[in-house]
Amino acid sequence: MFLAQPDAARDDPLFVQIADGVRYGIGSGHMGPGDRLPTAVDAANSWGVNHHTVRRAYGALADEGLITVLPRVGARVRWQHQTAANSPMPLSGFLDAMLHHAERAYGLDPDDLADLIRTRRRKTRQNGVVVVMECTADQAAHHGEELGHAFGMDTVAFCLDGHTEPPEGPILGTYFHLSEIAARWPHRLGDVVIVAVEPSAEIVDSIRQQDGSIPDVVLHETNGIRAGLMADQLRHMPALGGTRIFIELSDTVGPETDQRENIAHLYAPKNWAQLSWSARGRARHDELPFQITPLEIKRLAPLLDQLN
């Protein structure tokens, strides 16, 4: 692994060491566009650092355009490594790198890889492209990743903050936004599949304290109805049973004077997207991640086939 163990004895901060390791990996060509980095939680556990330290490093790299960071999907290399002549990688080099990565990461020989590419293209032609609609581009991209893993289909992320109409094709939307979709594009309702989402269980590990206890939660949202639904979902998670959940209707970070150890601040995706990277790096402040429920994944295939 190109990322060296961060050393607290060094003068430069841990997040700078982590970011420098990623820069070296990209600049040296050891990592290319699309390669995954460890998730913040996995990296923090592996290196014995706080996951906010990793997030801060990834945030700095994202600001530089070197990586992209998607909730629940993780961080991926964005920057295209270039040759010494500062020209794009030639096609032969791209093919060699792709074949090498396919064999190293997935055990695929060239014939296996070619068969998978042909199969994927057939699925794309048969099923078309599904438009995944959400309140943030990152959340839409995450649900698109879920569909890609489950069905091998191509998706287009569409953010509700935009002013244009969604592209042609089936639309997947979450029940949080049904009323907004109906109000803005009533003529497209025949294309829409509404699915249920739920908080991802990974949030429990994210907010768990060092002694294993779960703190009280302040849930930040801008919409009271959505906030109530989210709070109810959190209360029904077995690991959060008995946890007190308070709702804060705002899009701002909790006050600097809030130093209570037993409070975790969770932000709805749209609220989280409005925060600066420095605000996201504060201790005990996290995005509330959502996933399509397993039951919804099971019922989606026939519904999407009908729309196509």
Cα gap 53→58, rounded to integer Å:
9
Which residue among 82, 108, 134 closes a domain? Answer: 108
Indicate the pLDDT class of residue 81, thresholds 50, 70 and 90. Answer: very low
Q: Is the pLDDT of residue 57 over 80?
A: yes
Asked whether the CA dihedral 23, 29, 35, 39 is positive or negative, the reply is negative
Task: Based on the fold, state whether residues 118 and 134 are members of the same structural domain.
Answer: yes
Q: What is the pLDDT of residues 230-275, one digit of tens each?
A: 888 898 888 887 889 999 887 555 544 455 567 889 999 888 888 8
Cα gap 261→104, rounded to integer Å:
44
Task: Based on the fold, state whether residues 183 and 228 are members of the same structural domain.
Answer: no
Q: Is the pLDDT of residue 199 over 80?
A: yes
- Identify any residues that bridge with 193 across adjacent strands, giving them in sequence order: 172
135-160 average pLDDT score: 85
Q: Domain range spanning residue 240? A: 201-288
Helices (H) and strands (E) in the chain, counts: 12, 12
Task: Based on the fold, state whether residues 168 and 101 are members of the same structural domain.
Answer: no
Cα gap 87→106, rounded to integer Å:
29
Mean pLDDT rounded to a whole number for the chain: 78
Which residue among 73, 108, 143 closes a domain? Answer: 108
Which CATH number does the domain housing residue 52 bear?
Answer: 1.10.10.10
| Residue (of 308, 263, 271) closest to 288 by Cα position | 271
Indicate the pLDDT class of residue 79, thresholds 50, 70 and 90. Answer: low
- Determine phi and psi for 259, rounding to 5 degrees: -110, 15
- What's the one-letter identity of residue 203? I
| Positions of E strands within the chain | 67-70, 74-77, 129-134, 154-159, 171-174, 192-195, 197-199, 216-221, 245-249, 263-267, 285-287, 290-292
Whether residue 222 contacts residue 250, with contact meaning beta carbons closer than 8 Å, is answered with yes
Task: Based on the fold, state whether residues 103 and 6 are members of the same structural domain.
Answer: yes
Q: Is the pLDDT of residue 16 over 70?
A: yes
Q: What confidence score (pLDDT) does residue 217 get?
A: 92
Element (H, E) at 117: helix 110-127
- Cα-Cα end-to-end distance for the chain: 43
Asked whether the CA dihedral 57, 58, 60, 65 is positive or negative, the reply is positive
Asked whether the CA dihedral 170, 175, 176, 178 is positive or negative, the reply is positive
Which residue among 53, 73, 108 closes a domain? Answer: 108
Q: What is the pLDDT of residues 92-117, one digit of tens each?
A: 666 766 777 777 767 788 888 887 77
Q: What is the pLDDT of residues 280-289, one digit of tens each?
A: 877 788 889 8
Task: Based on the fold, state whether residues 297 and 238 are members of the same structural domain.
Answer: no
Task: Based on the fold, state whether residues 175 and 275 are members of the same structural domain.
Answer: no
Indicate the pLDDT class of residue 182, thresholds 50, 70 and 90. Answer: confident
Task: Based on the fold, state whether residues 102 and 78 are members of the same structural domain.
Answer: yes
Task: Based on the fold, state whether residues 160 and 85 are members of the same structural domain.
Answer: no
Whether residue 55 contacts residue 17, with contact meaning beta carbons closer than 8 Å, is answered with no
Show the tokens assigned to 248: 């804060």
Whether residue 138 contacts residue 272, with contact meaning beta carbons closer than 8 Å, is answered with no
Q: What confidence score (pLDDT) does residue 306 get?
A: 61
11-38 average pLDDT score: 79
Q: What confidence score (pLDDT) does residue 75 get?
A: 85
Which stretches of the chain are DSSP H helices?
Answer: 14-27, 40-47, 51-63, 91-106, 110-127, 137-151, 178-184, 202-207, 224-235, 269-273, 277-280, 294-307
- The structural domain count of the chain equals 3
Task: Based on the fold, state whether residues 167 and 63 are members of the same structural domain.
Answer: no
Q: Is the pLDDT of residue 125 over 60?
A: no
Task: Based on the fold, state whether residues 171 and 256 are members of the same structural domain.
Answer: no
Q: What confidence score (pLDDT) does residue 72 get?
A: 62
181-198 average pLDDT score: 86
Show the tokens assigned to 85: 């002549």
Task: Based on the fold, state whether residues 11 and 130 are members of the same structural domain.
Answer: no
Whether residue 133 contacts residue 107, with contact meaning beta carbons closer than 8 Å, is answered with no
Which CATH number does the domain housing residue 180 bear?
Answer: 3.40.50
Show the tokens assigned to 43: 């990296």
Cα gap 186→173, rounded to integer Å:
14
Task: Based on the fold, state whether residues 187 and 208 are members of the same structural domain.
Answer: no
